[in-house]
């Protein structure tokens, strides 16, 4: 990425807002994602390029350093220290070279040693450093988050790996794959790859933390007289005992029937909300019974 303009890569202006940068990245990531373009090396390379640009521009501190020092932003702290200590100094970028001038010979020598000379070529060997961590978005269903799943991740020119996503992940969870990030420089270790998880909404269950919420239809006779109803869980059906005279909207807690707690053996709970189902197409006898009930319990 040396020498590349991150703003141009994302197609945004230098004064673009964080929201604009995020929206643009998401649009480009969906377009160039390797899963959407299987076998397309150019799309894979573009995805890697926009991901690196987004990593810098989405981070306020990194972006400030990049705006000042370009693709040498990683050395901003050294530059600032030099500026504070040297009687005078200058920094310029042009073509493929970065030039430094220092008024303090000792300090100049120190930074020459850091960058390999008063003129540092971007094509010159970098000082040893660990490779950067990379992020890769993945989307899973609620069932996959409940049971755990796997994803096959493709790498630029280096094959594929299968990554296990543990039970209990939620939107925002990060699954670490050691050593699969950016390669290190001059013998240093590679960075790590992080799968950033998002969980799809479910048509039946609502998730809050490790608890699940579900609404269950219950016949009028059951809420009035008591009884049992079947309740769906992500492990199958269970029976819920409904006490007599249960009111519409009452909520019952089924302990341990919710989501797995990430990295633990415990589970959250399932909270079941009662939705009373009123009878329809009443027979003459049923209507008579309701009329009798109305006489016994007149509206106050």
- Tokens in use for 149? 């799943």
- For residues 75 and 14, membership in a common domain is answered with yes
CA 213, 221, 247, 280: dihedral to nearest 10 degrees?
Answer: 80
- For residues 108 and 13, membership in a common domain is answered with yes
Domain region containing 258: 206-296
Identify the CATH number of the domain in which residue 266 sits.
2.60.260.20
pLDDT at 259: 97
Is 129 within the bounds of a domain? no
pLDDT below 70 — which residues of the chain? 1-3, 79-127, 156-158, 300
Q: Please tell me the total count of domains within the chain.
A: 3
> Is the separation of the CB atoms in 57 and 73 below 8 Å?
no
Q: Identify which of 277, 268, 296 has the alpha carbon closest to the alpha carbon of residue 211.
A: 268
- Among candidate residues 165, 199, 233, the one where a domain is terminated: 199
> Is the separation of the CB atoms in 170 and 262 below 8 Å?
yes
- For residues 213 and 158, membership in a common domain is answered with no
Tell me the pLDDT tens digit for each residue of 256-293: 999 999 989 899 999 999 999 999 999 999 899 988 98
Handedness of CA 271, 275, 276, 281 (dihedral sign): negative
C-alpha of 60 from chain center:
18
Tell me the pLDDT tens digit for each residue of 86-133: 444 444 444 444 444 444 444 444 444 444 443 443 333 446 788 888
Q: Which residues pair with 101 in a beta bridge?
A: 90
C-alpha of 254 from chain center:
29
Q: Looking at the whole model, is its pTM more than 0.85?
A: no
- Tokens in use for 122? 């971007």
> Is the separation of the CB atoms in 79 and 66 below 8 Å?
no
- For residues 29 and 105, membership in a common domain is answered with yes
């Amino acid at each position: 990425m040396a020498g590349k303009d991150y703003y141009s890569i994302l197609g945004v202006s230098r004064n673009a807002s964080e929201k604009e940068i995020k929206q643009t990245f998401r649009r480009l990531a969906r377009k160039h994602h390797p899963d959407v373009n299987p076998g397309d090396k150019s799309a894979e390379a573009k995805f890697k390029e926009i991901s690196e640009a987004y990593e810098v521009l989405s981070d306020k501190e990194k972006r400030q350093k990049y705006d000042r020092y370009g693709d040498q932003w990683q050395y901003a702290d050294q530059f600032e220290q030099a500026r504070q200590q040297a009687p005078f100094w200058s920094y310029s970028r042009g073509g493929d070279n970065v030039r430094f001038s220092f008024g303090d010979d000792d300090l100049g020598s120190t930074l020459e040693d850091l960058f390999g000379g008063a003129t540092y070529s971007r094509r010159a060997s970098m000082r040893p450093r660990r490779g950067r961590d990379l992020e890769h978005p993945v989307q899973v269903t609620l069932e996959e988050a409940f049971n755990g799943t796997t994803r096959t991740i493709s790498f630029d020119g280096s094959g594929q790996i299968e990554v296990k996503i543990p039970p209990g992940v939620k939107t925002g969870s990060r699954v670490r794959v050691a050593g699969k990030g950016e390669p290190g420089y001059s013998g240093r270790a590679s960075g790590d790859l992080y799968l950033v998880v998002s969980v799809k909404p479910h048509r039946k269950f609502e998730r809050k933390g490790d608890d699940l919420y579900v609404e269950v239809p219950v016949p009028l006779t059951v809420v009035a007289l008591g009884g049992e109803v079947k309740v769906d869980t992500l492990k199958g059906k269970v029976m819920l005992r409904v006490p007599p005279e249960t009111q519409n909207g009452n909520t019952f807690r089924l302990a341990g029937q919710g989501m797995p707690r990430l990295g633990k053996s415990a589970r959250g709970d399932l909270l079941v909300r009662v939705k009373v189902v009123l009878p329809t197409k009443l027979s003459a006898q049923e209507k008579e019974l309701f009329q009798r009930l109305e006489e016994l319990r007149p509206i106050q």
